[in-house]
Amino acid sequence: MADQKEQFRAVVVAAINQFIAEKKMQNMTNVWDPERTSFYWYWYDTSSTPMIYVLDKNHKIFAKKIDADTLKLIFEHELK
């Protein structure tokens, strides 16, 4: 059973890495915590994933729980 779990994890990680490369998201922070050992849901008030957070240059949360349209507006305004 553990072997199947590790094989599944390897396939998922490969798929995530491929998606990140295809979308040119290497400069973005992408995380995955299937065992929930980081307690991210507690620290970042996440009730579901995926969830979009925008961080400022000091890695402080600038915006959270936003949709794609709001993210686009933030990028258009802040990246001028």
- Tens digit of each residue's pLDDT (9 = 90 or more) over 54-80: 888 898 888 888 888 898 888 888 776
Residue 39 has pLDDT above 70, yes or no: yes
C-alpha pair distances (Å), 73 with each of 7, 32, 77? 40, 26, 6
Q: Do 25 and 56 belong together in one domain?
A: no
Residue ranges with strand state E in 1-80:
53-55, 61-64
Q: Do 39 and 77 belong together in one domain?
A: yes
Residue 49 has pLDDT above 70, yes or no: no
Q: What is the pTM of this model?
A: 0.45
Q: Cα-flanking dihedrals φ and ψ of residue 57, to 5°? A: -65, -20
Full residue range of the structural domain in which residue 5 is found: 1-30
Mean pLDDT of the chain, nearest integer: 82
Distance CA 76, CA 51 (A): 20
Give me the pLDDT at residue 10, please: 82
Count of domains for the chain = 2
Give me the pLDDT at residue 1, please: 63
